[in-house]
Amino acid sequence: MTSPRRIIIDTDPGQDDAVAILLALASPEEIDVLGITAVAGNVPLPLTERNARIVCELAGRPDIRVFAGCDAPLKRKLVTAEHVHGKTGLDGPVLQMPEMPLQAVHGVDFIVETLRAEPPGTVTLCPLGPLTNIAAALIRAPEIAGRIREIVLMGGAYFEVGNITPAAEFNIYVDPEAADIVFKCGAPITVMPLDVTHQALVTKPRNEAFRALGTPVGVAVAEMTDFFERFDREKYGSAGAPLHDPCVTAYLLRPDLFAGRHVNVEIETEGRLTTGMTVADWWRVSGRAPNATFMGRLDADGFFELLTERLGRL
Ligand code: RIB
Ligand code: CA
């Protein structure tokens, strides 16, 4: 029995972030959540940090430490996604306002101090939103890059192209300068792009399986995915909402559900039409050194089997 993977979740909840956090908290034997750092993204920071606490309480884990991080990208104006996630960022279910406290320490300080204090190679960072907090931590303490076990992030797109512009995925687009710093930091990086998350569609039967759990968590997840499905159905005509961020947590639990390639990925930060694009050298034509494992395939049935079973434990 290996010891649990110790992680920091960096997040902008967001219904799909919420499901990713629930999946992690439902798996304490495999995942030890050292803390959750909120970042501005889907909705502004006061809402993302509140939503992170709401989700911890929904999971019955008011002991989890939640920190507020950066409230805006490194250099750009914040772009949010209320059109997808609703005004609160967690539209869909009626959820209790949190009673658990927000930690006083800034999220970026928590990331830096944790990586400095823990033995090298023992902490995994799991960014689920714009990479502002991670980049700010690397700027403040560049030496932490060598202490990170792995960065497993949701972001980017290649064959699946963009969702916020024709070329860019939302998390990268919101703070491309931050993404550029992270992808160049030298830590091992595993990327869950739209190329795989668009295979994780919450079809009707899958949504019904959440609801059939009959628990507050199961029903809330069914209501969350019902809500943000409407946007994706109109936009993609897809058979259901893509569960982007839970792909990160599922990878920690069952990496065999995913397949990808170790390639060079660079971030476009100046393109008139392509800013925020993850330029993945999938065919290795650039000669640039590989710096990330970029996922391209998902066993969707296996993913939903894992997710539903684990959510049933909460
Ligand atoms: O493009 C999808 C990503 O943007 C997800 O992380 C979603 O939560 C939003 O942050
Ligand atoms: Ca997110």
The overall average pLDDT reported for the chain is 96
- Provide the pLDDT for residue 1: 66
The Cα 222–Cα 200 span in angstroms is: 15
Q: Is the pLDDT of residue 115 over 90?
A: yes
Q: Is 244 a catalytic residue?
A: yes
Contact indicator for 48, 78 with CB cutoff of 8 Å: no
The Cα 223–Cα 205 span in angstroms is: 14
Q: Hey, how many other C-beta atoms are within 10 angstroms of the C-beta on 75?
A: 11
Residues facing residue 297 across a β-bridge: 259
Span 227-246, pLDDT tens digits:
887 777 777 676 788 999 99
The Cα 74–Cα 140 span in angstroms is: 13
Q: Which atom of ligand 1 is nearest to the CA of 14?
A: 8
Q: Which atom of ligand 1 is nearest to the CA of 164?
A: 1
282: helix, strand or coil: coil
Residue 143's pLDDT band (boundaries 50, 70, 90)? Answer: very high
The Cα 271–Cα 292 span in angstroms is: 22
Q: Which atom of ligand 1 is nearest to the CA of 170?
A: 1
Q: Which of 6, 303, 302, 20 lies closest to 155, judged by CA?
A: 20
Residues with CB under 6 Å of ligand 1 are: 12, 14, 16-17, 41-42, 128-129, 154, 163, 169-171, 244-245
Sign (positive or negative) of CA dihedral 245, 248, 251, 253: negative
Q: Which of 120, 136, 89, 87 lies closest to 188, judged by CA?
A: 120
Residue with structure tokens 């809402």? 47
Which structural domains are found in the chain, ordered by start?
5-311 (3.90.245.10)
- Provide the pLDDT for residue 239: 79
Q: Is the pLDDT of residue 94 over 70?
A: yes
80: helix, strand or coil: coil
DSSP character at residue 273: T
Of the listed ranges 92-106, 234-248, 288-302, the one predicted with least confidence:
234-248
Contact indicator for 7, 190 with CB cutoff of 8 Å: no
Span 41-84, pLDDT tens digits:
999 999 999 999 999 999 999 999 999 999 999 999 999 998 88
DSSP per-residue letters across 20-55: HHHHHHT-TTTEEEEEEEE-SSSS-HHHHHHHHHHH
Span 3-34, pLDDT tens digits:
999 999 999 999 999 999 999 999 999 999 99
Spot the catalytic one: 83, 85, 198, 244: 244
Q: Ligand 2 center to residue 14 CA distance, Å?
A: 6
Span 163-204, pLDDT tens digits:
999 999 999 999 999 999 999 999 999 999 999 999 999 999
- Provide the pLDDT for residue 74: 98
Mean pLDDT of 213-217: 97
